Structure 1
Amino acid sequence: MSPETRMVADHREQDTAEREALRRRLAALPPERRAALRRSLLGGRDKRTWPLSTGQERLWFLQRFDPDDCAYHITWPVRLRGPIDETGLAAAFTTIAARHEVLRTRFVLDGDLPAQVVDEPREVRLDRLDPACSAVEPAIAAYAGRPFDLAAAPAWRAGLLRLAADEAVLCIVLHHIVVDSWSLDVLMRELGECYRAHREGRPPRLEDLPTQYRDHAVTERRRAEEDRDHLGYWVERLAGAPPLDLPLDRPRPARWTGRGAKIGVAVPDAEVARLELLARAHRATLFMALLAAWQVTLSAAAGQDDFCVGVPVAGRDRPELAPLIGYFSTTLVARADLSGDPTFGELLRRTRISTLKALAHAGTSLDRILGGLRLPRDLSRPPLCQAMFNLTHNLPTGDLLRTELGDLTVELCPPPDLGRARVEVSLDVYRWPEGIGGWLEYATDLFDAATAHRLADTFARVVTRAGGDADLRLSELGAADPKFRS
């Protein structure tokens, strides 16, 4: 090796060693120092924009379509009892928002496209709910229904309704664009630790986050651009799927308004347990059996054996996403196949196979699917999925359902009915010791409450009869209600 070549090699080794040492030094800096260094390197420019995830983009467009729509507001009210420290609560939310960039994010137009802007951490202040209200529920509903300006401020808020010196309702309202159901458990866990730490005069014990939501959005966009998100499977699977045409109580408006209401749904434990045993015998899950029962219910009402049902899934397919607050959930599209008047056991087999295939091809956003299908535009109804089904399961709830917050006791309050519906009919249920509970949400432009009750009753009847005899054919399940044809 010549002296000149040796000199170049030595310089390269020295440069590599210096870069590695610099990386180690940067990694050892506290997060706030790293952020300050980044701002100085960017010349003080704090307003760098980031792309939205495809799911966020859909919610952004929906909000632009109707800025006053609160259908995608997620509300979590809890009643607190004890020596309530408002300063401590505000400090806890301040810490959480500093940790999770998505809670400091605004959504703006960058040229012709929506983009995320992450603001610097700042103090969070609790809103004061109107103490003059005669009842808690109207006060919560009014606070939850207040629209968000996604471009002007972060898409969440928290308020306190004082009921007595040692009693109050804490109401947390978040737009779906920054949160999902999984995130609520993360939020309540960190709220508990940060509030307890403030009361005890110590720093909160929280592990550093492995990533931030905007990084997930960038990765998801790149996967879509590289065509690595299974779009081809979904376009082939859903091509030609007809809309679900349930019999309406009044003419369909020319434009979807999202006005809605909800009613309770309940199935006793004995009936649910029988269906659960039947599902296991067919190597299926309770979720698959309940989805099949909901498909039977919709088929009986609409007289169709082919339609689509949307199913929310968590969308957190990597372990580093588990501790994050953000909108990761996506919608799987379950295309029903009830052709040939099968037995319920046969329908359960079909549902099991289609569900497993759908999960194997999860990760494609509903917007990507709609774009790939090139469906005709119809402003009068939600596209592709006019019905939804959700069994709340496999989600962390240990902190969401907590009964203490530091030295306070916590009691859950029922979320308010904001009079909105995301699709024409949606069944949202959970399994608990008493059986199946939940609610059926419906579009009030299309259906009367009596029709919603008939759907709920039919679903309960299908669960009961199918669980008792898997060999009953769909026509024998007694699901058909002549009143649907009135």
Structure 2
Amino acid sequence: MSPETRVAADHQEQGTAEREELRRRLAALPPERRAALRRSLLGGQEKRTWPLSTGQERLWFLQRFDPDDCAYHITWPVRLRGPIDETALAGAFTAIATRHEVLRTRFVLDGDLPAQVVDQPCEVRLDRLDPGRVVDEPRQDFASSDVEQAIVAYAGRPFDLAAAPAWRAGLLRLAADDAILCIVLHHIVVDHWSLDVLMRELDESYRAHREGRPPLLEDLPTQYHDFAVTERKRAEEDRDNLDYWVERLAGAPPLDLPLDRPRPARWTGHGAKIDVAVPDAAVARLELLARAHRATLFMALLAAWQVTLGVAAGQDDFCVGVPVAGRDRPELAPLIGYFSTTLVARADLSEDPSFGELLRRTRISTLKALARAGTSLDRILGALRVPRDLSRPPLCQAMFNLTHNLPTGDLLRTELGDLAVELYSQLDLGRARVEVSLDVYRGPEGIGGWLEYATDLFDGATARRLADTFARVVTRAGGDPDLRLSELGAADRKFRR
């Protein structure tokens, strides 16, 4: 090796060592110091605009279609008992919004396309749902109409996605040591998995603020806008799965449930909820049946919901939307953001099969769908070229959701720092995302949940018949899987025209 070559090699080795040392020192900096250094190197400017994920883009268009619609507001009210430190509570939300950029994000037009704009961290202030009012009584009926109306009004207030971050938190004081904390987030920045993350970090951040220390939370491996960029790139390369969905869903007819009143020319999203319940004994039998068919309770309940809808509509072919978590990589687990997506389950009730046969069909189609869950509904709709119909949701007029694989350990926590936490009942905001949606959970007493329905189309009595039919199908199918669908729904043909 010549002297010149040796000198060049030494310089290269020294440069590599210096770069590694610089990387090590940068990695050791606190996140806020790293951000400040990036801004200084960029002359005070930092890139804070990114594309939306495909799911976010759909919600953004829906918001533009109807800015006053609150159907995609996720509300989490909890009752706090104890000496509430409002300064610490606001500080905890500030720490969480500083940590998760999606909670500092606005959605604007960048040319002809929507874009995410991440604002700098700022102080979060709690809204007061009851200005200047403190109730003297140590206990107050938290289901009373005035309290409920205050929370519904707060939850239903529209977001201006371009002007401010799409979430808020307010406190409704019932007494000096008794209040309802109401957290309202637009679906464009959060999913139901995120609520568990939010409540976990709220507990630690509240404790830390009270104790005068930084929250003990691990650094986030990434931010939501990074996922959005990657997700859009993956979507562009997902040709094979898109082809599967186009072939699977081509020619699917709309679900044509019998209506109680004429369909409006334009979808309004007006809705209501009713409770749904199936006793534990009936659910346990259905679980045994599902295991015998190498299926899950989710698959069996989806099949029962398809039978319910098919009986009501007199159809054997239609689609049901099914939300899935969409967090297919471990680094996404600790993030707040909108990762969930909608799978389309096409019902096949043809030839009046037994429930056991329908469960087999549902199992096969569900497994195939889950293997291709990365294809967004918006891309599928675009590839199918579904004719635009402003009077109804596209492709899926019905939804089904079994809350069974989402983390709830922190969501259902009973403490927040030194405060006792009680869950507040989920309120009816008077909105519906689709014509009928069944949202249920498996509890110790069986199946519980609610049926959400469009009040422009259906009366409450019709919704109740749907819920009761579903409960009867679950009970009959678990008792005798050889019953054909016509037998399962024999008592419910009054739905049909």
What band does the TM-score fall into relative to the shorter chain?
over 0.9
Which residue identity does 1:237 align to in structure 2?
R
Cα gap change, 1:229 to 1:147, in 2 (>3 Å): farther
Instruction: Tell me whether 1:449 sits opposite 2:467 in the alignment.
Output: no
2:270 to 252, 259, 269: 259
Q: Assess if the C-alpha contact under 8 Å between 1:392 and 1:430 holds in 2.
A: yes
> Can you give the 5+ residue segments of structure 2 that lack an aligned partner in the other structure?
134-143
Query: For residues 242 and 41 of structure 1, what CA distance do their matches in structure 2 show?
Result: 56
Instruction: Tell me whether 1:170 sits opposite 2:181 in the alignment.
Output: yes
Q: Assess if the C-alpha contact under 8 Å between 1:300 and 1:480 holds in 2.
A: no
Query: For residues 107 and 41 of structure 1, what CA distance do their matches in structure 2 show?
Result: 26
**Corresponding residue number in structure 2 for 1:335:** 346
**Corresponding residue number in structure 2 for 1:68:** 68
Equivalent runs, 1:61-100 vs 2, <5 Å? 61-100=61-100
Query: For residues 166 and 211 of structure 1, what CA distance do their matches in structure 2 show?
Result: 38
1:209 to 215, 220, 238: 220
2:476 to 435, 456, 465: 465
Query: For residues 321 and 32 of structure 2, what CA distance do their matches in structure 1 show?
Result: 42
1:151: how far off? 0.7
Which residue identity does 2:287 align to in structure 1?
E
- Cα-to-partner distance string for 1:173-211 (whole Å, 9 max, x where unaligned): 000000000000000011111112222333221111111
Q: Assess if the C-alpha contact under 8 Å between 1:314 and 1:329 holds in 2.
A: yes
Which residue identity does 1:103 align to in structure 2?
L
1:46: how far off? 4.1
Equivalent runs, 1:107-146 vs 2, <5 Å? 107-130=107-130, 135-146=146-157
Query: For residues 267 and 315 of structure 2, what CA distance do their matches in structure 1 show?
Result: 23
- Cα-to-partner distance string for 1:143-184 (whole Å, 9 max, x where unaligned): 000010111111000000011111010000000000000000
**Corresponding residue number in structure 1 for 2:36:** 36
Query: For residues 120 and 89 of structure 1, what CA distance do their matches in structure 2 show?
Result: 20
Q: Which moved more, 1:7-16 or 1:452-461?
A: 7-16
Equivalent runs, 1:388-467 vs 2, <5 Å? 388-467=399-478
Which residue identity does 1:13 align to in structure 2?
E
1:220: how far off? 0.2
Which residue identity does 2:50 align to in structure 1?
W
Which residue identity does 1:63 align to in structure 2?
Q
- Cα-to-partner distance string for 1:200-236 (whole Å, 9 max, x where unaligned): 3332211111111111001101111223682122111
**Corresponding residue number in structure 2 for 1:320:** 331
**Corresponding residue number in structure 2 for 1:360:** 371
Cα gap change, 1:327 to 1:229, in 2 (>3 Å): farther
Partner of 1:376, secondary structure, is coil
% same residue = 90
Which residue identity does 2:372 align to in structure 1?
H
Query: For residues 272 and 450 of structure 1, what CA distance do their matches in structure 2 show?
Result: 24
Query: For residues 31 and 48 of structure 1, what CA distance do their matches in structure 2 show?
Result: 16
1:324: how far off? 0.5
Partner of 2:465, secondary structure, is helix
1:240 to 240, 243, 251: 251
1:27: how far off? 1.4
1:319: how far off? 0.5
1:385 to 386, 396, 399: 396
Cα gap change, 1:257 to 1:122, in 2 (>3 Å): same
Instruction: Tell me whether 1:305 sits opposite 2:298 in the alignment.
Output: no
Query: For residues 224 and 209 of structure 1, what CA distance do their matches in structure 2 show?
Result: 24
Query: For residues 122 and 228 of structure 1, what CA distance do their matches in structure 2 show?
Result: 42
1:345: how far off? 0.3
Instruction: Tell me whether 1:477 sits opposite 2:483 in the alignment.
Output: no
Which residue identity does 2:55 align to in structure 1?
G
- Cα-to-partner distance string for 1:49-95 (whole Å, 9 max, x where unaligned): 11110000100110011110000000000111111110110011011
Which residue identity does 2:25 align to in structure 1?
R
- Cα-to-partner distance string for 1:350-397 (whole Å, 9 max, x where unaligned): 000111111111111111111111111111110010000000011110
1:485: how far off? 2.6
Q: Assess if the C-alpha contact under 8 Å between 1:279 and 1:286 holds in 2.
A: yes
1:191 to 187, 202, 214: 202
Cα gap change, 1:41 to 1:479, in 2 (>3 Å): farther
Q: Assess if the C-alpha contact under 8 Å between 2:51 and 2:114 holds in 1.
A: yes
TM-score, L = length of structure 2: 0.95
Query: For residues 17 and 230 of structure 1, what CA distance do their matches in structure 2 show?
Result: 45
After TM superposition, the runs of 4+ consecutive aligned structure 1 residues lying more than 6 A away are none
Q: Assess if the C-alpha contact under 8 Å between 2:273 and 2:451 holds in 1.
A: yes
Query: For residues 226 and 345 of structure 1, what CA distance do their matches in structure 2 show?
Result: 38
Count residues in correspondence: 486
- Cα-to-partner distance string for 1:401-432 (whole Å, 9 max, x where unaligned): 11111111111111221111000000000010
Partner of 1:326, secondary structure, is coil
**Corresponding residue number in structure 2 for 1:345:** 356
Which residue identity does 1:219 align to in structure 2?
T
- Cα-to-partner distance string for 1:96-144 (whole Å, 9 max, x where unaligned): 1111111111111111111111111111110000356962110100000
Q: Assess if the C-alpha contact under 8 Å between 1:316 and 1:322 holds in 2.
A: yes
TM-score, L = length of structure 1: 0.97
1:296: how far off? 0.2
- Cα-to-partner distance string for 1:283-331 (whole Å, 9 max, x where unaligned): 1110000000000000001111111100000000001110110000000
> Can you give the 5+ residue segments of structure 1 that lack an aligned partner in the other structure?
none
Query: For residues 32 and 496 of structure 2, what CA distance do their matches in structure 1 show?
Result: 64
Query: For residues 436 and 156 of structure 2, what CA distance do their matches in structure 1 show?
Result: 21
